[in-house]
Structure 1
Amino acid sequence: MKIVLAEDNEILRKSLSFFLTSNGFEVDQFSDGQDALDAIEKKTYDLILTDINMPGRSGMEITQYVRQTIMSDLPIIIFTSSGVEQTELDSFDIGANEFIAKPISPAVLLVRINKLLKTRV
């Protein structure tokens, strides 16, 4: 299974990538939202993990683009350090499948990823 991981925090991105790779996923990492979108347009992925606040394009913009422009139902998990309830509601309104507040529990993330991927099979 191939995952896009868009996160500008290098330590978090690398640690999540290592965790996901060690659990059998192939991970393409991006620190810039526009770079992630460019890859999504060119390659086939099974899931998108994106932070909200990033250079280039935000996670919200990535989600909107995937849902409205590409018209894809690709599972999307948004994560952020924002504890604002409206941010979570907005994420679901634009088409995110899951929302995870930072700090991220890798075990919980893995459960949510597997749940989303099972519904696509």
Structure 2
Amino acid sequence: MRIILAEDNDILRKSLSFFLESKGFSVDQFSDGKDALDAIKENHYNLILTDINMPGISGMEITQYVRETLKSDVPVIILTSSGVEQTELDSFDIGANEFIAKPVSPAVLLVRINKLLNTRV
């Protein structure tokens, strides 16, 4: 299973990528939203894991592009340090499947990823 991870925090991105790879996932990681979106346009991913606030293009914009322009139903999990309820509601309105507040528990993230991927098989 191939995951794209778009997260501008280097430590979080690298640690989540390492964790997911140790669980058997192939992870393409990006620190910039525009680079991540370019990769999404060119490759097939089983899941998109994106931070909301990133340089270039936000996670919300990535999600919106995937849903509206690419017409893709690939699962999207949005990560954010924002505790604002409206941000979470907006994420679901544009098509995100899950919303996880930082700090991210790798174990909880894995359960949510497996839940999304297993329902698609």
Cα offset, 1:14, TM superposition? 0.1
What residue in structure 1 maps to residue 73 of structure 2? 73
What residue in structure 1 maps to residue 20 of structure 2? 20
Q: Figure out how many residues of one structure are paired with residues of the other and give that number.
A: 121
Structure 2: 5+ residue stretches without partners: none
| Distance (Å, rounded) in 2 between the aligned partners of 1:75 and 1:113 | 9
Per the normalisation by structure 1, the TM-score is 0.99
SS state at 1:78 partner? strand
Structural RMSD (CA): 0.3
What residue in structure 1 maps to residue 62 of structure 2? 62
**Residue identity opposite 2:25 in structure 1:** F
| Distance (Å, rounded) in 1 between the aligned partners of 2:83 and 2:95 | 19
Per the normalisation by structure 2, the TM-score is 0.99
**Residue identity opposite 2:99 in structure 1:** F
| Distance (Å, rounded) in 1 between the aligned partners of 2:95 and 2:117 | 16
SS state at 1:120 partner? coil
**Residue identity opposite 2:75 in structure 1:** P
Cα offset, 1:114, TM superposition? 0.1
Q: Deviations over 1:7-66 (max 9, x none)?
A: 000000000000000000000000000100000010111000000000010000000000
Matched residues, percent identical? 83
Cα offset, 1:72, TM superposition? 0.1
What residue in structure 1 maps to residue 37 of structure 2? 37
